[in-house]
Amino acid sequence: MTAQALVLDFGGVVTRTLFETHDLTEAALGLAPGTLTWRGPFAPAEGPETDALWQAMQRDEISERDYWMTRTRETGALLGETWTKMETFVQRARGADPEAVMRPEALTSIALAKAAGKRLAILSNELDLFYGADFRQKLPFLADFEVIVDATYSGILKPDPRAYAAITEALQLPAGACVFVDDQLRNIRGGEAAGMICVHFDVTRPGQSYAEALRHLGLPSPF
């Protein structure tokens, strides 16, 4: 059976990561170029250039929110400010021009899926928490998503099985009819346990990952 729905994580999958947009962040915050050096998955896993905090998250020693809270505090301190909320960082870094950080591969794939009659959903742990509730109004393409499940409000974080069930119940589709795309392996494992078709999104190869998702939907890839 060809999949009928494309279910996307948001940060990293629909948007470029903060690792990829240090130049935009530095410009927005008035920091000198090259100030931000942490690179997450773009840094080698070992050696002097590794992002040790990111590797700790990959080992489940800290949560994804712990990682970003640390980076939030560090970046605020560079400005002589005390940042206690992750959304402060994201909104200050990206609020002025959110379209500048959208992945073109994401926008193309969303348009292709919509044109083919596929259903669209977002399953995020922190969409409004990171970006702010008014962020969605700045991105007209989000109107194409009939379901948005955001743990900012539900409090149910992936990979909790209830997060995936919320999507399938809202879409009224079996899990096996949904292609779930996420950049965190722990969330992919949760999706697989729920019975979804899963694509572990590689932020270093976005076109390749979206091509795989489109293939599961029975659609040709332009990438």
Section 202-222 average pLDDT: 97
3 state DSSP class of 185: helix
- So what's the pLDDT on residue 98? 78
222 falls within a domain: no
Report the mean per-residue pLDDT for the chain.
Answer: 93
Report whether pLDDT(78) > 80. yes
Q: What is the pLDDT of residues 43-52, one digit of tens each?
A: 998 898 999 9
Whether residue 212 sits in one domain with residue 134: yes
Whether residue 143 sits in one domain with residue 87: no
Residue type, 33: P
CATH number assigned to the domain comprising residue 143? 3.40.50.1000
Band (pLDDT 50/70/90 cuts) for residue 126 is: confident
Section 120-132 average pLDDT: 85
Q: Rounded to whole angstroms, how far apart are CA atoms 179 and 133?
A: 26
Residue 52 CB partners (closer than 8 Å, separation 6+): none
Report whether pLDDT(65) > 90. no
- Comparing 99 with 54, which gets the higher pLDDT? 54
Whether residue 166 sits in one domain with residue 87: no
199 and 179 Cβ atoms separated by less than 8 Å:
yes
Tell me the residue range of the domain where 68 lies. 22-98
Percent residues over pLDDT 90 in the chain: 78
Cα 83 off chain centre by:
22
Q: In the listed set 98, 113, 141, which residue is the last one of a domain according to the structure? A: 98
Which residue from 183, 186, 180 is spatially nearest to 198, judged by alpha carbons?
180
Whether residue 188 sits in one domain with residue 93: no
pTM of the model: 0.89
Count how many residues are written for the chain. 223
Q: Rounded to whole angstroms, how far apart are CA atoms 100 and 93?
A: 11
Q: Rounded to whole angstroms, how far apart are CA atoms 220 and 22?
A: 33
Among the listed ranges 132-146, 157-171, 182-196, which one has the minimum average pLDDT value?
A: 132-146
Number of domains in the chain: 2
Percent residues over pLDDT 70 in the chain: 99
